[in-house]
Amino acid sequence: MPQAIREVYYPMRREPLVLQVFDQLVWFSQQMLLRRCPSWVRPMLWCPLVMAGLLSNLAGQAAQIDCTRRPIDQIPPGTKVANRPPAGWTHLIFKTRNRLADGDVEAIPEFARPTSEFLFTVFAARVAPADPSGRPPWRLDKVAMAIGAQVGQDDIVLTTATQKELGADLGVLKLAILGRAEEHLKKVHQVAFSPRLALVDAPTYFADPDGHRPIVIRYFLLIRPEDGGLASLAWRIDLNQEGRYLSARSPAVLIQPNLVATTPLHVDGKKVTLGIPAPDAFATTRLPRGREVPIPMVVQGLAGRQELAPQDVLFLESHFRQALENLIASPLPQNPPGQ
């Protein structure tokens, strides 16, 4: 195939095998069409051209997906977080506070319990129209998390370096807890990103019948290009003894838009020494509140894979979008960008 035609159909430098096959079919079809083959044959020869165009479009979408694993961006300290998207962000995915709810709660001294519950976690996204005039398509610009606490009448994003100047002036114990939360936030990774989606992995502990188990909660954010709506999915990924990803657990949860909630924690008294909890003394008991969405069987394995290629993410996107469309009512139009 001439180089100019190849660049039109296949903008990626390395063509998957399926595209190489269609490459040859396109070349053959063009040769036959140029040689004035019978009219009844021509419709059949256009099929490879159409299919190659579709595959080229998919290849272009895959090329936009960045699968570089990196710590998630953080919302700037000082940002006020109410029950809606913070200033500079269009979607509040969730804002949650922990609450010691089950298990050996009495292992934590009563005076120390409020200290274990004073922080909140916020997860936000920003979408923007690709056209400066504000016309669609909308694109995902950024996702970020942060830790914060109440300062006066406001919930404000804090760090150990900024908390004093922002008016929190935390004591030694609360400052140590904030420092531990900061270190944990560094382990939350953005694993895939494109103008249409983001994948974020957040390690945590989950309360199972046999104890507190380290897991990963994977968040999959899908943008609706027509209006900037956002669907936020979450599911659990179990780990093996070495900490490698083992498998995804179905169902996923379609997180309630603008979720502001309390996360109930289970306390394992065996992990508390002299009233001081170990990192795995507290464990969540459920995924964020929302509507259950079965993980499509065809992507069950991919949903729990640790390392993903752009083609894998594209496959996940396709099947989860279809799963959302199969719900009685799609949530995307009801979650437009906030002001």
| pLDDT of residue 100 exceeding 90 | yes
Query: Could you tell me the pLDDT band of residue 135, with boundaries at 50, 70 and 90?
Result: confident
> Is residue 170 situated within a structural domain?
yes
Query: Could you tell me the pLDDT band of residue 13, with boundaries at 50, 70 and 90?
Result: very low
185 & 314 share domain? yes
> How many CA atoms are closer than 13 Å to the CA of 18, on its beta-carbon side?
9
pLDDT at 63: 74
> Do the Cβ atoms of 126 and 108 come closer than 8 Å?
no
pLDDT (tens digit per residue) in 25-84: 555 555 554 455 555 555 555 555 455 554 455 556 667 899 999 999 999 999 999 999
Number of structural domains the chain divides into: 2
pLDDT (tens digit per residue) in 136-154: 899 999 999 999 999 999 9
Amino acid letter, residue 115: T
Q: Which of 63, 91, 109 is the last residue of a domain?
A: 63
41 & 168 share domain? no
Expressed as residue numbers, the domain containing 39 is: 3-63
pLDDT (tens digit per residue) in 142-197: 999 999 999 999 999 999 999 999 999 899 989 999 999 999 999 999 999 999 99
pLDDT (tens digit per residue) in 114-126: 888 999 999 999 9
> Is residue 320 situated within a structural domain?
yes
224 & 293 share domain? yes
| pLDDT of residue 329 exceeding 70 | no
Alpha carbon 189 to its chain's center? 9
Three-state DSSP at 6 gives helix
Query: Could you tell me the pLDDT band of residue 276, with boundaries at 50, 70 and 90?
Result: confident
pLDDT, mean of residues 84-97: 96
How far, in Å, CA of 257 to CA of 336, rounded? 10
> Do the Cβ atoms of 98 and 260 come closer than 8 Å?
no
54 & 81 share domain? no
pLDDT at 178: 95
25 & 92 share domain? no
81 & 47 share domain? no
250 & 319 share domain? yes
Closest to 332 measured CA to CA, from 146, 201, 138: 138
Between 29 and 252, where is the model more confident? 252
273 & 192 share domain? yes
196 & 299 share domain? yes
223 & 327 share domain? yes
pLDDT at 125: 98
pLDDT (tens digit per residue) in 282-299: 999 999 999 999 999 999
What value does the mean pLDDT of the chain take?
84
> Is residue 57 situated within a structural domain?
yes
| pLDDT of residue 128 exceeding 50 | yes
pLDDT at 141: 96
Query: Could you tell me the pLDDT band of residue 267, with boundaries at 50, 70 and 90?
Result: very high
| pLDDT of residue 259 exceeding 50 | yes
Q: Which of 63, 85, 108 is the last residue of a domain?
A: 63
214 & 127 share domain? yes
Query: Could you tell me the pLDDT band of residue 333, with boundaries at 50, 70 and 90?
Result: very low
> Is residue 339 situated within a structural domain?
no
pLDDT (tens digit per residue) in 196-222: 999 999 999 999 998 999 999 999 999
* DSSP assignment of 78-127: T-B--SSPPTT-SEEEEEEEEEEEEESGGGS-GGGHHHHT-EEEEEEEEE
225 & 136 share domain? yes
> Is residue 256 situated within a structural domain?
yes
> Is residue 143 situated within a structural domain?
yes
Q: Which of 42, 63, 84 is the last residue of a domain?
A: 63
User: Do the strands 70-71 and 189-194 form a parallel or antiparallel pair, or are they unpaired?
Assistant: antiparallel
Region of poorest pLDDT, from 60-64, 89-93, 126-130, 260-264 = 60-64
> Is residue 216 situated within a structural domain?
yes
Between 281 and 5, where is the model more confident? 281
> Is residue 36 situated within a structural domain?
yes
